[in-house]
Amino acid sequence: MNEKINKLIILLIIVISGIFIINRSNQDKIDPGSAEIMSFEILAHIKYLASDNLKGRLPGTPGSKLAIDYISKHWEAQGVEPAGTKGYKQPFSFINSVSLGKRNML
């Protein structure tokens, strides 16, 4: 009885190990432009964009430019077509503060 259980356990270990080995070897063959999203790729992007090297990425700062360049280069490498007429970097306007007037009230 113990011999059958031992053989079954060894067989299961071999099968499970084979699955992990096949899965690991397939990760190297993934096409960079494939629709499959891999968690380790996302984590690498998050780690870079959240790193202290970008110093907060406040708009208009060198850290912001590094983040913009990083994302633009990644999109270009993935074959993402830029929208609009000015490539990946599109100018836009926004209101960053509002002053209250004399007639404003809550």
Question: Domain residues of the chain, as ranges?
Answer: 37-79
Assigned token pair, 58 = 């406040």
Q: Is residue 64's pLDDT more than 70?
A: yes
Residue type, 73: K
pTM: 0.54
Residue 98's pLDDT is what? 82
Distance CA 42, CA 58 (A): 22
Alpha-carbon distance of 59 to 74, in angstroms, equals 20
Q: Kindly give the interhelix angle for 62-78 and 39-49, rounded to the nearest 10 degrees.
A: 160
Average pLDDT on 51-56 reads 86
